[in-house]
Amino acid sequence: MGLLLLEFGGLLLGLGLVGTVAARFGISPIPLYLLAGLAFGEGGLLPLSTSEEFVATGAEIGVILLLLILGLEYSAEELVAGLRRSAPVGLLDLVLNATPGAAFALLLGWGPVAAVVLGGVTYATSSGITAKLLSDLGWLGNRESPTVLSILVIEDLAMAVYLPILTTVLAAAGVVSGAISLGLAVAAVALVLLGALRFGRHIERFVASPNEEVLLLKVLGLAILVAGLAHQLHVSAAVGAFLVGIALSEPLAASARQLLEPLRDLFAAVFFVFFGLQTDPGDFAPVAALAALLAVIGIATKLVTGYIAARSAGAGRLGGARAGAALIPRGEFSIVVAGLAVAAGVDSDLATLAVAYVLIVAVVGPLAARLVEPLLGPRLRPKRPPAPA
């Protein structure tokens, strides 16, 4: 226990120092948190031997909190309207961003199963990183942000269907077994969404309390409980937490956000560090060039997706650029997909390629988002007409 406390305390203190550097230079701390994870992970400068399992649990809570607070920003009605409006863009997102990964796997001779895996790796944006970006940069109130949120939700729901299919393919399970897994996943997502839409007021009455401590415990406990149930049914835990958030409306949602934000910042930092902890920097060299090429393509396809989606929702050109930059990072889903493949005996180089790819886009994404307005704002922002003489 003493060693665990020493490691975890040192990690948090180090993150605080890293955050100070980020604030000093006015940049997002996310890339620095990822690099800190590389330094503390296997093959790094100072590996964490005792606290890694504890950090892994904290990382999962971080993702849940990120999506819970994002859900608190929107109502269930706004979510459904956004999903309906963004469905065509969601299909475009799938085609543009899953195709490069699948094509790479086939060109490298890894076979159709690896193509299904790598397509999933390149498809889904990291909900955790993008949620943090929208909050850090003050973009939640922008016109394009609901569209970005809709795309994230569509991707998470698509992954809720994709992951059972992938598991069935990797295990070479029968049609009946695969159909049962898929049915459970779809039913779980539908059930939670229906509960948020139809029974939101009852959930609010159950959660509401004039005592801040009690309110914090109820909201956080309910979100983690639903996330756990979703995970047991092979659905994204993040989807469950997000839908709990949208089930709560103002003013209860505002009170919950205020109480949860410090916890979100703490555990979100742990999540980004844990992401880096999973990677041995020494494994990157053989796949670095391929990962860089795939990352360039992945950045371009997400920029196109975000721009088209935001413009179709009525945002300006600058809003389209912001939406594209916010969608660049990949993260938790991509690592889960690669891990499932390696555990099933698919080529181990695929996992290294996936991690290198995700690290590149996870670092470039926040930096690109930070630079969108300074670099493109003067050219893309609508020009005001000259004042009359």
Residue with the two structure tokens 């196109």: 304
Residue 4 lies in a domain: no
Half-sphere exposure of 10 (CA within 13 A, CB side): 16
> What is the model's pLDDT at position 303?
95
| CATH number of the CATH domain containing 116 | 1.20.1530.20
> What is the model's pLDDT at position 181?
58
> What is the model's pLDDT at position 265?
85
Task: Give the span between the Cα atoms of 188 and 103, in whole angstroms.
Answer: 32
Domain count, the chain: 1
Q: What is the pLDDT along the chain (389 residues), one digit of tens a residue?
A: 888 888 888 888 988 998 888 777 766 677 788 778 877 766 566 677 777 788 888 888 888 888 788 778 766 666 666 667 777 888 999 999 999 999 999 998 888 888 989 999 999 898 878 887 888 888 888 888 888 888 887 887 777 667 767 776 776 645 555 566 566 656 666 676 676 667 767 777 888 888 989 999 999 998 899 888 877 766 667 767 877 887 787 788 888 888 998 998 888 888 878 877 776 777 778 888 999 999 999 999 999 999 999 998 888 889 999 999 999 998 767 877 877 777 677 776 787 888 788 888 988 888 888 888 888 877 766 665 555 55
End-to-end CA distance of the chain: 74
Residue 385 lies in a domain: no
At 294-349, the pLDDT tens digits run: 999 999 999 999 999 999 888 888 999 999 999 999 876 787 787 777 767 777 67
Give me the helices (H) in the chain, please.
Answer: 2-25, 30-40, 52-72, 76-107, 112-123, 127-136, 145-171, 175-198, 200-207, 212-232, 237-247, 252-277, 288-312, 317-326, 332-343, 348-380
> What is the model's pLDDT at position 297?
96
Task: Give the span between the Cα atoms of 190 and 185, in whole angstroms.
Answer: 9
State the amino acid at position 76 in one-letter form.
Answer: A
Quote the longest CA-to-CA distance of the chain: 77
- In sequence order, what are the residues at sequence separation of 6 or more whose Cβ sits closer than 8 angstroms to the Cβ of residue 182? 161, 164, 165, 168
Q: Which domain holds residue 114?
A: 29-373
Instruction: Look up residue 151 and give its two tokens.
Output: 């795309």
Cα dihedral 60, 354, 162, 66 in deg (nearest 10): 30
Residue with the two structure tokens 């290198």: 356
At 121-151, the pLDDT tens digits run: 999 898 878 887 888 888 888 888 888 888 8
Residue 15 lies in a domain: no
pTM: 0.70
Task: Give the span between the Cα atoms of 192 and 198, in whole angstroms.
Answer: 10
> What is the model's pLDDT at position 232?
78
